[in-house]
Amino acid sequence: MRKLSGAMLIAALLCAPAAWAQQATLRVVSAFSENSIYVKRLEAWMKTVNEEGKGVLQLNFVGGPRAIPTFESGNAVKTGVVDIALTTGAFYTNLMPEADALKLAQIPVAEQRRSGAFEVINQIWNERANMVYLGRPVEHQTFHLYLNKKIDKPDLTGLKIRVTPVYRDFFQALGAQVITTAPGEVYTALERGVVDGYGWPIGGIFDLGWHEKTKYRVDPGFYNVEVSLVMNLDAWKRLTPPQREFLNRQVLAFEAQNDFWKSDNEAEAKRQAQAGIETITFDAAAAKRYLDKANEVGWASAIKASPENARKLKAVLTK
Ligand code: 173
């Protein structure tokens, strides 16, 4: 320091705030619990982003549902309480019911980016929720019905099932009585016998100990599990072009790891079997009816709730 002349010191001090302004720090939350596989992968990704983003962009993980309750995650992003959330459309249908339609996508996210589907999603998300749809770092997973009572056909009459908007209309169409809860309440609901089962992806039931309270998994799985990064539109606009480019590149790198889920699916199914969870399967005709029903009910609900946007999404997300 002694070697700096007075003029140089002043110049350095004047430059410092400008240089500093080139680094943005964004607040990130997760609608999924902190010990979930989704958040473990998010944190690993953020670590890389922060290492590579020094002087450009930093991500600050604020927390999971204890920081922002699961079903408030969309609102927190919309209003700018946080900048980014790892969440899913079913958790912010209060803002835009069509968000849940991303589970009906039949084409991979990389293709959605090439085909223009991604832009259609972004137009809708910008307008409806003041959000930028950044990317989808979870793919190749299906949802399943987990039960504590045995069934031999796709008929849930007399069963109480924990749902979110993902499964609500489908399970209801199969005769179930449904109870909506955040993931954080599933264990207690099972423990108290408030529900006979729940919907959840193929992976993750061990994260919160649900395997202890689960007897059966129903196959086949249905829909396309959607977990995405969404960002407040104003916060996005405040970023400089290089910061946006950096963030986009990092999200693409995250999505490029999506094959991870294929091996995770196998590992999780195996682990469930080892934990004594039996698989319930239907005959081919019943399985087809089950999947067709899921799809049909899914689109019918989305179109009913938000006709114009759901139709736009259907046009670009299905084959
Ligand atoms: O809570 C849920 O069952 C749910 O809707 C969901 C959505 C995506 C991934 C995991 C769970």
8 in any annotated domain: no
3 in any annotated domain: no
Q: How far, in Å, is the centroid of ligand 1 from the Cα of 182?
A: 9
169 in any annotated domain: yes
- For a mutational test of ligand 1's pocket, the pick from 30, 88, 205, i.e. the residue with the most ligand atoms closer than 8 A to its C-beta, is 88
On whether both 151 and 291 belong to a single domain, the answer is yes
Ligand 1 neighbour 142 (Cβ under 6 A)? no
On whether both 38 and 178 belong to a single domain, the answer is no
On whether both 214 and 105 belong to a single domain, the answer is no
**pTM of this prediction exceeds 0.85:** yes
Structural domain span for residue 131:
22-139+225-262
113 in any annotated domain: yes
15 in any annotated domain: no
On whether both 234 and 311 belong to a single domain, the answer is no
On whether both 232 and 278 belong to a single domain, the answer is no
On whether both 29 and 167 belong to a single domain, the answer is no
Atom of ligand 1 nearest to the CA of 91: 5
Q: Is 181 helix (H, G, I), strand (E, B) or coil?
A: coil
48 in any annotated domain: yes
What's the domain count of the chain?
2
- Residue 17, pLDDT score: 47
DSSP 100: G
C-alpha angle 66-70-74 in degrees, rounded to nearest 5: 120
Cα–Cα distances (Å) from 200 to 81, 112, 118, 126, 295, in that order, read 28, 24, 25, 28, 17
Q: Which CATH number does the domain housing residue 312 bear?
A: 3.40.190.170
**Can you give the pLDDT of all 319 residues of the chain as single tens digits?**
444 455 554 444 454 444 456 899 999 999 999 999 999 999 999 999 999 999 999 999 999 999 999 999 999 999 999 999 999 999 999 999 999 999 999 999 999 999 999 999 999 999 999 999 999 999 999 999 999 999 999 999 999 999 999 999 999 999 999 999 999 999 999 999 999 999 999 999 999 999 999 999 999 999 999 999 999 999 999 999 999 999 999 999 999 999 999 999 999 999 999 999 999 999 999 999 999 999 999 999 999 999 999 999 999 999 9
4 in any annotated domain: no
Q: Where are the beta strands (DSSP E) in the chain?
A: 24-30, 57-63, 84-87, 131-138, 143-147, 160-163, 177-180, 197-201, 216-222, 227-232, 278-281
